[in-house]
């Protein structure tokens, strides 16, 4: 997993609540058996005017000029600013894969769906929760500033706006540690193999039917 520590990133505002993972990456692209290459189809149904299918040459498809990601001023954006309950619905990890492959490293929203939130941390993507009022202020500040960038510091757990306003954010200590160091969860759990075996040994006596 790629590490995350600091980012100075351009912000793109996606002003919608309850953006679901079906919208982030439509089902036809879930047929892939790979982890990469989902970026060109992130938000496919909103981003293109035609219907997308796997295997199409996306560079030849007609973009929807009204969709915010397609506006030239947001080219190269790495921070997605959005509304409450982002990533709801399906557990598909293809959603964070698509966002990460598109180039996003940070998402800022008042709230996230639990499974999506969890999946982000497995993929070097930092989902930040801020109060709805702060998110609203960021939307307003972005609208007034061309090339609106934010400075995100995971170590210090703070976001700094171009005018110097600082917003602290919460992140669980364990997730922060893994993200800062790019750690693989499986490798960490494997250090506790003896504990897992001891649990199984005990549980086989208590509830033997679970092991048949």
User: Quick check: 148 and 139 in contact, CB under 8 A?
Assistant: no
Tell me the C-alpha to C-alpha distance, in Å, between residue 189 and each of 19, 130, 149.
32, 30, 37
Task: Please report whether residue 28 would count as binding other proteins according to CB under 8 A.
Answer: yes
Please state, in angstroms and rounded to a whole number, the distance separating the CA atoms of residues 202 and 200: 5
Q: What does the longest C-alpha to C-alpha distance in the chain come to?
A: 65
Least distance to other proteins, CB of residue 131, Å? 14
Task: Please report whether residue 141 would count as binding other proteins according to CB under 8 A.
Answer: no
Q: Which of 91, 103, 105, 153 binds other proteins (CB under 8 A)?
A: 91
Least distance to other proteins, CB of residue 193, Å? 8
Within 8 A by CB and 6+ apart from 145, the residues are: 162
How many residues contact other proteins, by CB under 8 A?
61
Task: Please report whether residue 105 would count as binding other proteins according to CB under 8 A.
Answer: no
Task: Please report whether residue 153 would count as binding other proteins according to CB under 8 A.
Answer: no
Which residue stretch of 2-10, 68-76, 78-86, 145-153 sits at the interface with other proteins (rule: CB under 8 A)?
78-86
Both tokens of residue 175?
Answer: 């997730």
Please state, in angstroms and rounded to a whole number, the distance separating the CA atoms of residues 111 and 131: 9
Least distance to other proteins, CB of residue 178, Å? 9
Tell me the C-alpha to C-alpha distance, in Å, between residue 181 and each of 54, 106, 115, 177.
34, 16, 22, 6
Task: Please report whether residue 64 would count as binding other proteins according to CB under 8 A.
Answer: no
Residues that bind other proteins (CB under 8 A): 15-18, 20, 22-23, 26-28, 30-35, 45, 51, 54-55, 83-85, 88-93, 96, 111-115, 118-119, 122-123, 172-174, 185-186, 188-190, 192-193, 195-196, 199-200, 203, 206-212
């Amino acid at each position: 997993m790629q590490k995350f520590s600091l980012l100075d990133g351009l912000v793109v505002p996606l002003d919608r609540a309850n953006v679901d993972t079906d919208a982030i990456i439509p089902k036809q692209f879930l047929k892939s058996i790979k982890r990469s290459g989902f970026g060109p189809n992130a938000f496919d149904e909103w981003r293109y005017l035609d219907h997308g299918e796997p295997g199409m040459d996306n560079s030849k498809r007609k973009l929807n000029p009204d969709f915010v990601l397609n506006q030239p001023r947001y080219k190269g954006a790495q921070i997605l600013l959005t509304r409450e309950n982002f990533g709801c619905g399906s557990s598909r990890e293809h959603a964070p894969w698509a966002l990460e492959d598109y180039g996003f490293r940070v998402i800022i929203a008042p709230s996230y769906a639990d499974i999506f939130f969890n999946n982000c941390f497995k993929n070097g993507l930092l989902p930040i929760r801020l109060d709805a009022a702060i998110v609203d202020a960021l939307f307003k500040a972005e609208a007034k500033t061309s090339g609106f960038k934010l400075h995100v510091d995971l170590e210090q757990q703070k976001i700094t706006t171009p005018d110097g306003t600082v917003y602290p954010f919460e992140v669980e200590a364990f997730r922060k540690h893994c993200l800062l160091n790019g750690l693989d969860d499986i490798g960490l759990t494997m250090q506790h193999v003896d504990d897992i075996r001891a649990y199984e040994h005990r549980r086989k006596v208590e509830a033997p039917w679970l092991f048949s």
